[in-house]
Amino acid sequence: MLDGLVLSIDAMGGDSAPDIVIQGIEYFLKHEGKNRHARFLIHGDEEALKPLLAKAPLTQKRSEIHHTESVISMDAKPSVAMRRGKGTSMWNAIESVKTGEAKVAVSAGNTGALMAMSKLLLRMKAGVSRPAIAARWPHQQGFGVVLDVGANLGCDANQLREFAVLGEAYYRTLYKKEKPSIGLLNVGTEDLKGNATIQAAHDSLSCSELGLNYIGFVEGNDISMGDVDVIVTDGFTGNIALKTAEGTARLIGKFIKEALQDNLWSRMASILNLPALGRMKKRMDPRMGNGGVFLGLNGIVIKSHGGTDAVGFASALSVALEMADSHFLEEIENTLSALHDEDDNVEIHLP
């Protein structure tokens, strides 16, 4: 039994698992986590994991393997995953949070399966109808939070309001800001813009007595500017925005690299500006924002991109450690209780 702050890892989830998972833990421990007291409960095929741990001494020293040969495939439907899920590396990683063996579960596996299993094992918090995936989003001042980015393709006004409450608590936990600002993603900032669902959510948040710092509608270009801390939207829109931003960052990085290697003078200039270019590259790197949190559960589950590398998985572990070391689950209880009380008195109707 591991002591201290334990993270539960689905070692078999992801496009390049388990190699990238173990490499990601090792990278994390060499850099961000070297002075933290995290331990890792690793779920997966022991025969496949032991050679990888032999090449990762820091991880081997801080880890314990829980053997399982069963794995949920990346293309499995959630219904199929649920029928075959018990005893898989993903199931066991989540169950370790339920039993209290670990504080947070991390997986780069099948998103739909991870969500379904998390809901079944950990259950929803009272006052939350659906969980949301919250993603960190780089902007001029650091990071913002966008939710939902894929868990719920369609949402009603009440769910968007729940997301605002969950996102606000998550931002406070991660960035220690007492009153983060909240915006509702829309096609324009004017009061008459948007569909009926967006309008109803806006009216509810504007009249709410929850004490949220709600500033109203925001547009897509506001996500990266840093003027709003938490941006609320449905999972369909949020996921498209996230994938578009990641693709744009990679494209810009490629353009810059090509320009700097275009001729001798460009290459000389790039050598002189290596420190500045390195800082810019890090800020633009989509891997630095990897690690979406399933909010609204009675436990914490982190979803890493399935196709990430060791650096990206290490970023997801950073989020996991911050959440594990926080009082997020306790802090959210009071706000959700107030939201539930408000729901008893006010019912949202679409115009």
Per-residue pLDDT for the chain (351 aa), expressed as one digit of tens each? 565 789 999 999 999 999 999 999 999 999 876 667 889 999 999 999 999 999 999 999 999 999 998 998 888 888 888 888 889 999 999 999 999 999 999 999 998 899 999 999 999 888 788 889 998 887 777 788 999 888 888 888 989 998 998 999 889 888 888 899 999 999 988 888 888 999 999 998 888 777 889 999 999 888 888 789 999 999 898 888 888 877 877 787 777 777 667 776 666 666 666 666 566 566 666 677 788 899 989 999 999 989 899 999 999 999 899 888 887 887 777 677 666 656 555 554 444
* Among candidate residues 332, 335, 347, the one with its CA nearest the CA of residue 204: 347
* Fold agreement between 1-122 and 129-289+327-351: yes
Give the C-alpha separation, 192 to 198, whole Å.
10
Residues 6+ apart with CB under 8 A from 344: none
Structure tokens at 235: 């999972």
Determine the length of the chain.
Answer: 351
Strands (E), 196-239: 213-218, 230-232
Can you tell me the distance from the alpha carbon of 87 to that of 11, in angstroms, rounded to the nearest whole number? 14
Using CA atoms, how far apart are residues 199 and 91, in angstroms rounded to an integer? Answer: 39
| The predicted structure's pLDDT at residue 73 | 87
Q: In which residue are the tokens 């794995």 written?
A: 71
Assigned fold of 129-289+327-351: Isopropylmalate Dehydrogenase (3.40.718)
pLDDT at 280: 58
Q: What's the one-letter identity of residue 258?
A: E
CATH of domain 1-122: 3.40.718.10
C-alpha–C-alpha distance, residues 253 and 257, integer Å: 6
Q: What is the pLDDT of residue 222?
A: 85
The pTM (predicted TM-score) of the whole model is 0.83
pLDDT at 245: 78
Extents of the domains making up the chain: 1-122, 129-289+327-351
Contact status, residue 293 vs residue 132, Cβ threshold 8 Å:
no
Q: Maximum Cα–Cα distance for the chain, whole Å?
A: 70
- The token duo for 220 is 């897509």
The CA distance from 140 to 283, in Å, is 9
